[in-house]
Amino acid sequence: MTAAEPDRAAARRVLAATCVSYTLVLLDASIVNVALTDIAHTFGGRVAGLQWIVNAYTLAFASLLLTGGTLGDRLGDRTVHVAGLAVFVAASALCGIAPTLPALAVARALQGVGSAMLVPCSLALINRAFPAPAARASAISLWMGCGGIAMASGPLIGGLLVDLFGWRSLFFVNLPFGLAGIWLGRTVVRAAADASRQFDWAGQAAAAAVAIAALIGTLIEGPSLGWRSAPIVGGAATSVAAWIAFVAIEARRREPMLPLAFFRNRLFAGSTFVSMASAFVFYGLLFVLSLFYRQVRGASPLDTGLAFLPMTAMVALGGLCSGRIVARFGTRGPMCSAFGLYAAGALDMTGIGATTPAWLAVAPMLAIGFASGFISPAATSPALGTIDRHRAGVAAAALNAARQSGSALGVAIFGACIATLQPFSVAMRVALVMAIALSALAAVSWRLATRPRTCRRPPRDASAFRGRQRAHATYIATLTNWHRLPASTKRCQIPCPWRMRSSLMKK
């Protein structure tokens, strides 16, 4: 093994530490939903008010992902990863002992802060530990596969824990696994950090505190407050102004939080868009279909969780298979096929109604789940491979921010359809058509982003080039002054330079 190759044991420790942390993040995201009714009984709140317990986590996670990546590049990926996991574990303990509903929401937001610190640093650690593209793709697929397994098992584990020990056990279960992840993270070799890099406070304020939060908050509260109400109009205007300010700030800073030059890279820009589109479709459909099973089909919470088991299980399988498929066939065709599965699954779900046999929904949910699990690692690995390793934390944060923002937007926009369109079947079909259209757009975008670049012609010899210029000029001048030439000259055949070149190339 050469000095440039990372140690295999160290790479395995990196993969183990990052898989544990990512498993906790996705397990906590999916396990809480089954306990919202029990939390409402404890604190006396309504289920509608408890939505901010989920939204506080999502908003903090999506808003601070870029900050987590920047801190990882400046302070070291291992340091920020371990610190983020420590924040997540401490916040889980606070959730478990929360005395009031607002205290629980604040603790959930702190969990989002910890997740925003550790997730981009996890990808950066994997990117450094596995420099070979094939090995990196396999590692990322395993990392995301572990998260998919956690998400798939979350509803069942959550229901079991709530029945046996109460809803507070959902947060206490994070403590032993989180401490194990911290120990594993401390065994990872510390890499050199870029301490000279400045932190972009203005960009963070514009992106996190205002732009993303105002946009998602506006979409969430729009149906209840009214789209023309002063808070919603003001929130939308604030979000637009903050996005404009963010682009202006990042374009002028020497060390921006999000280098806009990343998006001049066609592959990175394409990966960012398809990651957002995939999360938009998957989490938006997850939200709509959960309401469909509960409100239209009248299923119990346990039956609803079991109905989603094929889809969530295929998320894990798709993540585990992604690395092998990409290593054999590349990303262009398989990614387009995966979005085709999204569209086919959504199209098939349009025929599912209140009295349709349950087994008819299994095939489309399998297709949607596998597509989601496959796309995430397949889009992430090639994007990170095009970015300098010293900026891998920021690049990974941008991809995850796009993914989290897409999931929040999907839930908000599809939820707005459910709230404003009646009956439910009409709103559901509108959401499914939107999912089909976005899947088709994402497939076309990825095909264009991965289009092979045309090879440039080698530089020509300067003297030969000048000779051809003179020949072209002479030919054009001769034709221009044809009427002035004597008759003897007109009877001669004047050779055409580009026709001569074409005949020579054929020979």
SS3 assignment for 144-212 = HHHHHHHHHHHHHHHHHHHHHHCCCHHHHCHHHHHHHHHHHHHCCCCCCCCCCCCCCHHHHHHHHHHHH
- Cβ pair 432, 349 in contact under 8 A: yes
pLDDT at 94: 93
pLDDT of residue 198: 60
**How far apart are the C-alpha atoms of 37 and 137, rounded to whole Å?**
40
CATH class of 261-451: mainly alpha
Question: Which residue type is seen at 81?
Answer: H
Cis peptide before 423 (omega within 30 of 0): yes
Residue pair 80/117 in contact (Cβ under 8 Å)? The answer is yes
Is 126 exposed, middle or buried (CB count within 10 Å of its CB: 0-12, 13-18, 19+)? Answer: buried
pLDDT (0 to 100) of residue 53? 75
Where would I find the H helices in 1-100?
8-31, 36-43, 51-75, 77-96
Domain 1-189 and domain 261-451, same fold? Reply is: yes
Which distant-in-sequence residues (6+ apart) come within 8 Å of 309 by Cβ? 152, 155, 156
What SS3 class is residue 38? helix
pLDDT at 10: 76
Supply the pLDDT for residue 87.
92
DSSP, res 265: S
What is the per-residue DSSP string for 421-451? SSSHHHHHHHHHHHHHHHHHHHHHHHHHHTP
**How far apart are the C-alpha atoms of 52 and 67, rounded to whole Å?**
22
Burial 185-220 (b: 16+ CB within 10 A, else e): beebeebebeeebeebebbbebbbebbbbbbbbbbb
pLDDT by 10s per residue, the chain, length 507? 454 454 677 778 888 888 888 888 888 877 777 676 677 778 876 544 556 777 778 778 877 777 777 777 777 778 888 889 999 999 999 999 888 888 888 899 899 889 888 887 887 788 777 777 777 777 877 887 787 778 777 777 777 787 788 888 889 988 988 888 888 877 766 655 555 556 656 666 566 567 777 777 777 777 777 778 888 888 888 888 877 887 777 777 776 767 777 777 788 888 888 888 998 898 888 878 877 877 778 777 677 777 878 887 888 788 778 778 887 887 788 888 889 999 999 898 888 887 788 888 888 999 998 888 888 878 877 777 767 666 666 677 677 778 877 877 887 788 778 777 778 788 888 989 999 999 999 899 888 887 776 544 444 444 554 555 455 444 444 444 444 445 454 445 545 444 444 444 444
pLDDT at residue 451, rounded to an integer: 77
Map 367-380 to HEC letters.
HHHHHHHHHHHHHH
| Residues 405/258, Cβ–Cβ less than 8 Å | no
Fold of 1-189: Growth Hormone; Chain: A; (1.20.1250)
pLDDT for 436 equals 92
Neighbouring CB atoms inside 10 A of 491's CB total: 7
Q: What is the pLDDT of residue 190?
A: 60
What is residue 295's DSSP assignment?
I
Going from N- to C-terminal start, the domains of the chain cover 1-189, 201-256, 261-451
**pLDDT computed for residue 465 by the predictor:** 45
